[in-house]
Structure 1
């Protein structure tokens, strides 16, 4: 299985997450600069012209792009966001 993982804004795929995902297939996790353009599914797909992904995953800003890519390529997507609460300390 080939998995496309798209990180969130100012983030990267952690080694721990990669390790878990690699139990299920080959992981493709491009470094994406969202500073100039937040929505860039076509640019992301151009990085992998000959790769057929089975699953698309995205976190936060990456989830927006992962959703669009899943619609373009006709594959399912797992989209998530991490909520961090400030304890006021």
Structure 2
């Protein structure tokens, strides 16, 4: 993980090849490279996180931030369509 000593709050699969990890220090978006058995960091955002909710139908993650847990920060992930032949 990009952030050191972060507590993992959870993770969400946003597609068959993309996963998001939510920690108490932020959010990290990865592409799964199955053939290499590795993760490639696509984007990360440092933000203090208290809790989160994920809606798979809309592909939105809502983070609770701030000391009083009174700020909500949404993140939307585009669902990528993969074509196979």
Tell me the TM-score normalized by structure 2: 0.31
- Greater strand content: 2
Tell me the TM-score normalized by structure 1: 0.30
